């Protein structure tokens, strides 16, 4: 099986999500996108309500853009210290079974080689170190193709977490902990972001044939359906 690897530094997450949608809907190859950072934004799952997940006052004060992605999953604050990894694959690579659990299990096997230290696990669809989350996942499944994309917290600023409300539904292992008690940082386990990305590339090459490709070599359709959108929240209640 072959992967085409696309690498970016600080590509806006909105542009990344649009790129993912185009590759998902109009291409038939397997891709891995690695993006080291993004301008600040809050990204919500397609069915998530801004009113339930976002602190309007803090978001407005800090001029943080709101984005709804095309996939499900939770809400995350992203910035230059977020590492994004997206797999866009055909069903054959996951043994022809495109179900959330089988996709998670497939990705977990890859990440076990990347985060090969004690305490790493996939827990209730999150990547954790012991009982603290450092990676959140979302998926999109179509007939013969799917996306599994992850936001990894290399580091984060406590103040940014105030832009997020405590979600109405949380995994059991969270145990009602606030954001700061629930999250952890990968920087405690790698010397640099570059070394983490290098380890991910080595792991990908170990499991698959991997070939880096540049964006200008792709013929990306401009006419595909786009579900990713920027949100303009109402001003009332600020």
Domains of the chain, start order: 2-231 (3.30.930.10)
Residue 222: the pLDDT is: 64
- Extended beta strands in the chain, E state: 2-9, 31-36, 41-44, 66-68, 76-78, 82-90, 120-123, 126-129, 132-141, 145-153, 209-212, 229-231
Q: Note whether 47 and 167 are within 8 A (CB).
A: no
If DSSP codes are grouped into helix, strand and coil, which group holds residue 145? strand
pTM (2 d.p.)? 0.94
**Are 56 and 170 spatial neighbours (Cβ–Cβ below 8 Å)?**
no
Instruction: Find where tokens 């880096």 sit.
Output: 212
Identify the pLDDT of residue 235.
52
Which pLDDT score is estimated for 1?
A: 80
Tell me how many degrees the CA angle 118-121-125 measures, rounded to the nearest 5.
165
What is the pLDDT at residue 154?
97
pLDDT tens, per residue, the chain with 238 residues? 899 999 999 999 999 999 999 999 999 999 999 999 999 999 999 999 999 999 989 998 999 999 999 999 999 999 999 999 999 999 999 987 899 999 999 999 999 999 988 899 999 999 999 999 999 999 999 989 999 999 999 999 999 999 999 999 999 999 999 999 999 999 999 999 999 999 999 999 998 999 999 998 888 766 777 899 999 765 544 4
């Amino acid at each position: 099986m072959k992967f085409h690897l696309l690498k970016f530094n600080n590509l806006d997450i909105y542009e990344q999500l649009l790129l993912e949608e185009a590759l998902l809907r109009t291409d038939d190859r397997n891709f891995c996108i690695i993006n080291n950072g993004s301008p600040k934004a809050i990204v919500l799952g397609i069915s998530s309500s801004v009113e339930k997940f976002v602190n309007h006052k803090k978001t407005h004060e800090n001029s943080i853009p709101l984005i709804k992605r095309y996939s499900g999953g939770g809400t995350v604050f992203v910035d230059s210290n977020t590492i994004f990894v997206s797999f866009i694959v055909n069903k054959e690579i996951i043994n022809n079974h495109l179900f959330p659990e089988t996709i998670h299990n497939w990705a977990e096997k890859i990440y076990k080689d990347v985060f090969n230290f004690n305490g790493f696990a996939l827990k209730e669809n999150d990547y954790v170190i012991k009982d603290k989350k450092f990676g959140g996942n979302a998926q999109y499944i179509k007939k013969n193709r799917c996306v599994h994309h992850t936001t990894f917290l290399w580091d984060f600023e406590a103040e940014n977490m105030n832009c997020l409300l405590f979600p109405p539904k949380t995994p059991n292992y969270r145990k009602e902990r606030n954001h700061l008690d629930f999250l952890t940082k990968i920087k405690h386990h790698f010397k640099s972001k570059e070394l983490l990305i290098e380890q991910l590339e080595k792991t990908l090459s170990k499991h698959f044939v991997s070939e880096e490709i540049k964006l200008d070599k792709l013929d990306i359709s401009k006419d595909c359906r786009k579900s990713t959108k920027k949100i303009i929240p109402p001003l009332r209640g600020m």
